[in-house]
Homo-oligomer: A and B are copies of this chain.
Amino acid sequence: MVRGRISRLSVHDLRFPTSLEGHGSDAMVGANASGLIDARHTDPDYSAAYVVLETDAEDGLKGCGLTFTLGKGTEVVVCAVNALAPHLLNKDLGDIVGDFRGFYRQLTSDGQLRWIGPEKGAVHLATAAVLNAVWDLWAKQEGKPLWKLLVDMDPRMLLSCIDFRYITDVLTEEEAYEILQKGQVGKKEREEQMQTQGYPAYTTSCAWLGYTDTRLTQLCSEALKDGWTRFKVKVGADLQDDIRRCRLIRNVIGPEKTLMMDANQRWDVPEAVEWMAKLAEFKPLWIEEPTCPDDILGHAAISKCHNRVIFKQLLQAKALQFLQIDSCRLGSVNENLSVLLMAKKFGVPVCPHAGGVGLCELVQHLIIFDFISVSASLKDRMCEYVDHLHEHFKYPVVIRKACYMPPKDAGYSTEMKEESVRQHQYPDGEVWKELLAAQGN
């Protein structure tokens, strides 16, 4: 079914001026170029390095992929995408997905780019953007949404997409095969369950640090009315502030609803222990990223990580009670598959990170596949949801009764509206031209 030779790769620096609204503000200490250090992310302009692949197949299908970035970080990732481009150009799509493990290894082992990674930072984000586009194209050619492509795929073929390098000490290909074989039982029923009920979500849209108490109260009340029962609040900038805001939220949502907290790497280990003791009365289900994401021995309860090797160790060290995959920080579907399989082996529930630009659109495919074919369980599981920027996507997420409904359109839901792409290009898109002119630049 797969067809065509990749004839063009273009990459766009897309930025959304979200910082103007206080969306995305969290406790990460941010510094801007004028040296102002604030206890919040002050200019988190949500952005994407957006990749479009074209082929000579004459079917009009394009593969769209992205990775989530912030502001000027995008230009570095765009540069890395361009450095990876020669690996794709003039390559047959069939050859790529026919030996996807080999192709993944080729990208992550580029002799000149590996030094500035490996499998981390700008280069790994670029790998994700490029491979997300390949998966989108593949799924479109097969005429299926990505989750369905994965669910229907022969287990051996699926495993041939995964690079097991550096994880064979905890998961071999044979073990992974057994997991997928067991996942065949009851698959049809679970697929139907997804189609009717969707995958449970939680919302982070109500409680950014930059929101006023009034806004926070209002957003929580509205979310309750819409059926949300699980909420995440950003903490870590100021303790008294956190106590006040958590109390406020608990007052609105009541003692029974689920509350999670996210400190966005704000603390040292001793500080995290002390701070969290003070917030314990608000009964958080988890504390996300209390400290540096590289700190495996620092015992994060839940953590976003940059590759499968870090996840492997967090599982080995029993440092995770929940595991947060990310569709754009890990090396696309390929690397996420390996993490889903390891999580299954260790019995740790996966609760994906989402939000940003497109992260919800992408990650829903992975978690729906996980439920149908791997974990077969919804116990302690939910997928993050943030209500931003969906309007720019051609196939935006559909949330019903606080659940992600399985996408029906072919592809990885990565494609953005042409108009949105044009307007948000930095610095020449209309949106930025106006903003920069207003700032006198």
Chain B residues near A270 (CB, 8 Å)?
A: 168-169
CB distance A114 to B77 under 8 Å?
no
Is there a chain B Cβ closer than 8 Å to A227's Cβ?
no
Q: Is the CB of B30 within 8 A of A111?
A: yes
Within 8 A of B (CB), among A93-134: 102, 105-107, 109-125
Contacts of A292 in B (CB 8 A): 118, 165-166, 309
5 inter-chain pairs at a CB distance below 8 angstroms, sorted by A residue, are: A70-B112, A72-B112, A121-B121, A168-B269, A168-B270
Measured between C-beta atoms, what is the minimum distance from A45 to chain B in Å?
A: 7
Q: Are B87 and A42 in contact, CB atoms less than 8 angstroms apart?
A: no
Query: By the criterion CB–CB under 8 Å, are B111 and A268 in contact?
Result: no
A120 surroundings in chain B (CB, below 8 A): 120-121, 294, 306
Cα distance, A83 to B111, chains bound together (Å): 25
A169 touches B294 (CB 8 A): no
**Contacts known (A169-B268, A265-B118, A268-B168); A72 close to B37, Cβ less than 8 A:** no
Q: Which residues in B have their C-beta under 8 angstroms from that of A117? A: 121
The quantity of this chain's copies bound in the complex is 2
Residue A71 CB within 8 A of the other chain? yes
Known A31-B110, A73-B123, A121-B123; further 9 A-B contacts with Cβ < 8 A: A30-B111, A32-B110, A44-B112, A73-B116, A121-B124, A122-B123, A166-B298, A169-B270, A294-B309
Chain A count of residues within 8 A CB distance of the other chain: 76
Q: How far is the CA of A69 from the CA of B80 in the complex (A)?
A: 14
| B residues in contact with A165, CB < 8 Å | 268, 292
- Top 6 nearest A-B pairs (CB, nearest first) are A121-B121, A30-B111, A71-B112, A33-B86, A169-B269, A31-B106
A223 within 8 A of B: no
Q: Does A221 contact B (CB under 8 A)?
A: no
Q: Are A43 and B111 in contact (CB under 8 A)?
A: yes
Beta-carbon contacts of A8-34 to B below 8 Å, as 1s and 0s? 000000000000000000001111110
A41 on the interface (CB 8 Å rule)? yes
Q: Is A60 part of the binding interface, using a Cβ–Cβ cutoff of 8 Å? A: no
Q: With the chains together, A117 CA to B124 CA distance in Å? A: 10
- Checking B31, B91, B123 against A111 with a beta-carbon cut-off of 8 angstroms, the contacting residue is B31
Q: A121-B122, A268-B165 are in contact. Are A116 and B76 (CB under 8 A)?
A: yes
Find residues 61-86 in chain A having any chain B CB closer than 8 Å to their own CB: 68-73, 75-77, 79-80, 83, 86
A307 at the interface (CB under 8 A from B): yes
Q: Is there a chain B Cβ closer than 8 Å to A317's Cβ?
A: yes
Partner of A296, one of B73, B75, B293, B297: B297
Residues of B within 8 A of A41 (CB): 111
* B76 adjacent to A76 (CB under 8 Å): yes
Contacts A33-B87, A116-B121, A121-B121 given; does A28 touch B168 at CB 8 Å = no
Complex Cα distance A165/B29, Å? 12
Also in contact, A35 and B87, with CB within 8 A (given A122-B80, A122-B122): yes
Contact yes or no, B268 A109, CB < 8 A: no
* A37-B111 Cα distance, complex, nearest whole Å: 9
A313 contacts partner chain B, Cβ-Cβ < 8 Å: yes
A76 to B112, CA, bound (A): 11
**Cβ-based interface call for A295 (8 A):** yes
Nearest chain B CB to A46's CB is how many angstroms away?
A: 10
- Measured in the bound complex, the distance between the Cα atoms of B274 and A265 in whole Å is 38
